[in-house]
Amino acid sequence: MKTLYLIVPCYNEEDVLYEAASRLLAKLENLINDKIVSKDSRVLFVNDGSKDKTWEIISQLHSENKLFSGISLSHNNGQQNALFAGVLTAKAYADITISLDADLQDDINVIDRMLEEYLKGNDIVYGTKAPIKNEKLHRKFLAESFYKFVKYIGVNMIPHHSSCRLMSSRAIEALSEYGEVNLFLPALVQLLGFNSSIVHYEQNERFAGKTKYSIKKLFSLATEAITSFSMKPLHMISSLGILFLLIFAGIAIYDIVIAAAGAFDGWLLVLASIWAVGGLILLSVGVMGEYVGKTYFEVKQRPRYFISETLVDPKTN
C-alpha cells in the first residue's frame, strides 16, 4: 500500500485547527482501515511563521496522536513556500501527497476521488473549486479576470485551481529540481509534464476566522504568476509604445496641416499627449522593474525558507 501525506499549510489558524485536525484524522483513519493507504500515512501541518498558538496546537496534536506531524518555518514565507516546504519534507516518507487548506473550504472528500485518479496512472491530480455561493462579487470578478488574462498571455494553468493538489513521489522529485525563488506552484507544477487529471469539488464556507488572502495579497500572487511565466507583458508594452508613436505621428501631421492654415490652437492636445507618453513610460518602467527585480532575487539564490522545528515520526507505535 502507498503512504499518503496530507500537506496542510497554516498561518494563524488557531480558530480552525482543532476542527480541521478532527476531520482530517477521521478521513485518514478511514483510508487506513479500508487498506487504501499505508498505516504510515500522516497529516503534515506546515506552520508558516504563525503569530498565534498554531504551532502549540500542532505540537499538542502530535503528542496525542502520531498520525499528526508538523514542521515550523522560522518566519512567514507565504503559502507557496509553505506548500513547497511541506511536499519536500514529505518526499522522504510519502509515495503520495495531497495538499489542502486548513480553513476547511476544500471538501476533504475530494481526497478519495484524487486517490482514484492516482490509481488510474496519474502522477498529478488538480482540484478545481466551484465559487462559494455567497462570495463577494468583486473577488469573483477579479478571479475570473485573472484567469482570462493569464490564458491570454500564454500562462499554462488550470482555472480555479489553487493549492488542492495530489502529487506522486516522482512528480515531487521532479519539482524539487526547480531552483527559482519566485514560486507559483499552480503554473510551475504544470511544467512537469507527467500524466494528470482534474477533479471538481464544491467549495465550503470558511469554518472560522478570516481569509488570509486580502485583495493586496491576491494581486501580489497574480503578479507573481504573470511575471514568472510569461514575457508577453513586455511584448504588449512594446506594441503599445509603437501604437502611441503612430498616433502621435498622426497628431503631429494634423497639427502641421492646421498650423499651415493658420488655425492651430492645440495646447490642450499637447498637454494630453505629454501625460499619455509619461504614463506609458512609467508603466513600461514598472513592468520591466518587476522582471529586473525577479532576476535580482534569483541571482542571489537565497534559501526559500528555514525549518526551525520538526515533528515528523513516520513510524506507527
Instruction: Tell me how far apart the alpha carbons of residues 226 and 184 are, in angstroms, rounded to a whole number.
Output: 9
In sequence order, what DSSP letters do the residues of 212-272 get, joined into one string?
S--HHHHHHHHHHHHHHH--HHHHHHHHHHHHHHHHHHHHHHHHHHHHHTT----HHHHHH
pLDDT in tens, 208-248: 556 555 566 666 666 766 666 666 776 677 677 777 767 77
Asked whether residue 291 falls in the same domain as residue 222, the answer is: no
d(Cα 78, Cα 179) in Å, to the nearest integer? 17
Q: Which residue has the higher pLDDT, 204 or 317?
A: 204
Mean pLDDT score, 63-88: 92
Count the alpha carbons within 13 Å of 30 in the hemisphere toward its beta carbon.
10
Residue 242 domain-assigned? yes
Instruction: Examine residue 70 and state whether it is found in any structural domain, yes or no.
Output: yes
Same domain, 137 and 265: no
Q: Is the separation of the CB atoms in 200 and 130 below 8 Å?
A: yes
pLDDT at residue 29, rounded to an integer = 96
Q: Is the pLDDT of residue 76 over 70?
A: yes
Q: Residue 166 pLDDT more than 80? A: yes
With a cut of 50, say whether residue 256 has pLDDT above it.
Answer: yes
Count of H-run helices and E-run strands, the chain: 10, 8
pTM: 0.73
Judged by average pLDDT, the poorest of 23-37, 125-139, 165-179 is: 125-139
How do strand 96-99 and strand 161-168 relate by DSSP bridges?
Answer: antiparallel
119 with 196, same domain: the answer is yes
CA distances from 307 to 72, 75, 250, 255 (A): 6, 9, 60, 65
Tell me what pLDDT residue 225 has: 64
Q: Which domain holds residue 268?
A: 232-300
With a cut of 90, say whether residue 113 has pLDDT above it.
yes
The answer to which of 54-58, 135-139, 212-216 has the lowest mean pLDDT is: 212-216
Of the pLDDT bands very low, low, confident and very high (cuts 50, 70, 90), residue 50 is very high
Q: Are residues 205 and 250 in the same domain?
A: no
Q: Is the pLDDT score of 301 beyond 60?
A: yes
**Which DSSP string do the residues of 152-204 spell out, in sequence order?**
HTT----TTEEEEEEEEHHHHHHHTT---SS--HHHHGGGG---EEEEEEEPP
Phi, psi of 218 (to 5 degrees): -65, -40
> Which CATH number belongs to the domain containing residue 39 in this structure?
3.90.550.10
Average pLDDT, integer, range 11-39: 94
Residue 173 counted as domain residue: yes
Residue bearing cell 503578479: 223
Q: Do 133 and 262 fall into the same domain? A: no
Do 153 and 225 share a structural domain? yes
What is the Cα 267 distance to its own chain's centre? 48
Higher pLDDT, residue 64 or 179 = 64
The percentage of the chain sitting over the pLDDT mark of 90, rounded to a whole number, equals 42
Q: Are 65 and 200 found together in one domain?
A: yes
Is position 125 within any domain? Answer: yes
- Domain membership of residue 317 (yes or no) is no
Structural domains counted in the chain? 2
Give domain status of residue 164, yes or no: yes
209 Ramachandran zone, left/alpha/beta (phi>0; psi -120 to 50):
left
316 within domain boundaries: no
* 28 lies in the same domain as 125: yes
Q: For residue 228, what pLDDT is reported?
A: 66
Could you tell me the three cell numbers for 117?
485518479
Shared-domain flag, residues 99 and 187: yes
Confidence of residue 317 (pLDDT cuts 50, 70, 90): very low
Query: Considering the chain, what is the average pLDDT of its residues?
Result: 82
**Is residue 283 assigned to a domain?**
yes
> 78 and 203 share a domain?
yes
Same domain? 116 vs 28: yes
* Residues 107 and 179 grouped into a single domain: yes
Q: What is the pLDDT of residue 241?
A: 72
